[in-house]
Structure 1
Amino acid sequence: MTIKGSIALVTGASSGIGEATAQRLAQAGYRVYGTSRRGASLPRREFEMLPLDVTSDESVGAATSELMRLEGRIDVLVNNAGFGVAPAGAEESSMEQAKAIFETNFFGLIRMTRAVLPHMRRQGQGRIINIGSVLGFLPMPYGALYAATKHAIEGYSESLDHELRTRGIRVSVIEPAYTKTKFDANFLAPDAELEEYRAVRTSLDEVLAKVMASADQPSVVAEVVLQAARAARPKLRYPAGGLGNRLRLLRRFAPAGLVDAGIRKDLRLDASRAMRS
């Protein structure tokens, strides 16, 4: 895609992957608008900020209308806004919490896509880039709800790309692994904790703390977003970072039993079971 004069909209751009992505797109020559619930722009940013709550139809509509008023077009949408629940058993989240994470991570993405697509169709071109995760193709024990939202994004994106490519619009999913952001610091605590899962929660907290020490920087993901945005023939899926690429290959070529055993070993799940017995 031609970058000069192109308008990019990045949700959840106040920090982490969203901020790094908005910054990288701006450096590459896009005119970038980031969003957050507050919308206030901080110093030294190379992009504008708009207030937007992806869980609100009214907020999404207002932000999209404002951007069209300002620029008259939207060429790239990066759906990044989302949150997770701290490692816990699937049954330790209430139905209300389960609905809340889907409301932001998945239905928020759909709201943004539905708001932007009419403008892209009139333009006859556009890119929709969804920030997924390796958890969109690998299971995450004790992270079932978050993994489920990322699996949903994979399926939605693949279907949508088939629907839109003849209209000049392409859809891609970025699949990062562990990334150093404030994301894990902002995890929601499970709202229906059970004593039966206490030991494994403690063990997983220790495992993830060690893993995050060597995690990728958000800039790694932002570079892959830029690659997808300006590719002449964009791919549907873009693993991000060394670990993300290795896990994608592992999932594709390794026997299912080997993948299963590797997940349990890396997360010390059987060690946690031994501690309980």
Structure 2
Amino acid sequence: MSNNNKRVALITGASSGIGEATAERLAKAGYRVFGTSRRAAPGAGQRLFEMLPLDVNSDDSVEALVQEVMRRAGRIDLLVNNAGFGVAPAGAEEVSIEQAKSIFETNFFGVLRLTRAVVPYMRQQGSGRILNIGSVLGFLPMPYGALYAASKHAIAGYSESLDHELRTRGIRVSVIEPAYTKTPFDANMLEADAKLDEYHANRATVNKRIQEVMANAQPPSVVADTVLKAATAAHPKHRYTPEGLASRLRFLRRFAPAGIVDAALRKDLRLDDNPAPHSR
């Protein structure tokens, strides 16, 4: 199939991990894929998709990217908002307002920028699909990960609301909510800038537990398969959870009593419910 007859997909954060796996999966499924990265990605010549530079925190960079994709392909049928970064375990009190803003700047407002830039072209086409990579933390709490969880809750609410606004224009919006996924994601995690001794023990406990789970986490290909399923669904859903842990957590959140979910979460993270002694 020539490039002129292929559906066109734009994927942010495609230099590694979920973004790269998704770009490769869509390319194999027949899409013409444009991936993005802030820096030049190694091995670009061996990839099945084209790579373009993008800083999701810059209005000018986003506009330039979308214009370049339109120049090359003439349309955008699928936008996958994947770019984002993680936050190392820390109490919410240990994250400054400036850091909180930086988390939302990339993880939420980056999604907003790309979506706002692409939607006008999809409206002109009368069709399109937008898939935002969220997390199970978009429907579950995360002790010692409150700001990251907040950004993913924001994506979930934005995605569902936007879908209602755009579906009469032939555009559908869904959020993909994976659980732990084995990627280089944690290599660039943001460390809290106002750490307190009061949180040291629990912070270390949660971090240890996360490392244990990550050792057996699913590969990003599982998420990529879910993205393809959502992209091609005749009747798309608001939310998609990949098979495995994410689907089990979604089931528990939906059907289990809140107290059971709360207790299970604390038990899994090894959090002690006994109050700490007051310091003087």
Equivalenced residue count is 275
- Report the equivalent of 2:13: 12
State the Cα distance separating 1:53 from its structure 2 match.
Answer: 0.4
Stretches of structure 2 that go unaligned for 5 or more consecutive residues are: none
Q: Read off the aligned partner of 1:20 and give its amino acid letter.
A: A
Q: Answer yes or no: is the 8 Å Cα contact 1:133–1:176 preserved in 2.
A: yes
Aligned partners of 1:199 and 1:275 also within 8 Å: no
Q: State the 4+ residue runs in structure 1 displaced beyond 3 angstroms.
A: 271-277
CA distance in 1, matches of 2:259, 2:19: 35
| Percent identity of equivalent pairs | 72
Give the aligned partner of residue 25 of structure 1. 26
Could you say what the CA RMSD is over the residues aligned between the two structures, in angstroms?
1.8
Alpha-carbon distance in structure 2 between the residues aligned to 1:203 and 1:83: 22
Partner of 1:103: 105
Matches for 1:44-63 after TM superposition, within 5 Å = 44-63=46-65
Residue number in structure 2 paired with 1:147: 149
1:61-96 CA deviation, whole Å, 9 max, x = no partner?
Answer: 000001101111000000000012100000111111
Q: Is the 8 A contact 1:199 1:276 kept in 2?
A: no
Distance 1:215 1:37, change over 3 A: same
Match of 2:257 in 1: 255
Q: Which amino acid is 1:229 matched to?
A: A
Using the alignment, how far apart are the partners of 1:145 and 1:184 within structure 2? 16
Contact between 1:199 and 1:272, CA under 8 Å: does it hold in 2?
no
State the Cα distance separating 1:209 from its structure 2 match: 1.1
Q: Within 1, Cα distance between the matches of 2:278 and 2:245?
A: 31
Instruction: Provide the TM-score with structure 2 as the length reference.
Output: 0.95
Aligned equivalent of 1:38? 39
Q: Any idea what SS the aligned residue of 2:249 has? A: helix
Distance 1:272 1:6, change over 3 A: farther
Q: How does 1:83-232 map to 2 (within 5 A)?
A: 83-232=85-234
Counterparts of 2:181 and 2:277, CA distance in 1: 29
Q: Kindly state the Cα deviation for residue 271 of structure 1 after the two structures are TM-superposed.
A: 7.1
One-letter amino acid of the structure 1 residue matched with residue 32 of structure 2:
R
Letter of the 1:119 counterpart: Y
Structure 1 alignment gaps of length 5 or more: none
1:172 partner SS: strand
Q: Is the 8 A contact 1:21 1:221 kept in 2?
A: yes
